[in-house]
Amino acid sequence: MENCIRMNNKMLAFITIDFPVLLLGLNFILYNAVGIEDYKNILRVIAFIFLLIGGFIRKKSITLLQLFSVLIIGIELLFQGTFALNILAAFLFAWCTTNNFKELSLRIFKVDLLLIIIVFILLTTGLLDFKTYISGVRLRGTLGFINPNAGALFFTSLVYLFILSREDISLWQIILSIIYSSVIYSITDSRTVFISACIFLLAIPLFKFSLFSYAFALFSKSIIIILWIGSAISILFINSFIGFDELLSFRISYFIELTNRADLINYLWGGTNFDNLTVDNFYYTFIFHYGIIFYCFMFYLVNKAINFCIKNRIFVVLDFLLSVCMMGLMESSFIRPELIFALLVWKIIFDPECLKALKTGA
Q: Which helix (H) or strand (E) holds 138?
A: strand 138-141
The pTM (predicted TM-score) of the whole model is 0.91
Residue 29 φ/ψ region, left for φ over 0, alpha for ψ in the -120 to 50 degree band, beta for the rest: alpha
Alpha-carbon distance values, 91 to 12, 14, 66, 94 (Å): 20, 19, 8, 5
* pLDDT (tens digit per residue) in 289-328: 888 998 999 999 999 999 999 999 999 999 999 999 999 9
Q: Pick the range with the lowest mean pLDDT from 59-63, 123-127, 310-314.
A: 59-63
Closest C-alpha to 153, from 113, 120, 124, 181: 181
Give the CA angle between residues 193, 199, 204 to the nearest 5°: 135
Beta bridge partners of 140: 133
Would you place residue 44 in the very low, low, confident or very high pLDDT band (cuts 50, 70, 90)? confident
Give the Cα separation of 129 and 40 in Å (integer): 22
Give the three-class secondary structure for 44: helix
Give the Cα separation of 114 and 22 in Å (integer): 9
Half-sphere exposure of 275 (CA within 13 A, CB side): 1
* pLDDT (tens digit per residue) in 248-294: 777 888 788 888 877 777 788 777 777 777 778 899 889 888 889 98
Quick one: average pLDDT of 230-236? 89
Give the three-class secondary structure for 136: coil
Give the Cα separation of 3 and 263 in Å (integer): 59
Residue 59 CB contacts under 8 Å (≥ 6 apart), including other chains: none
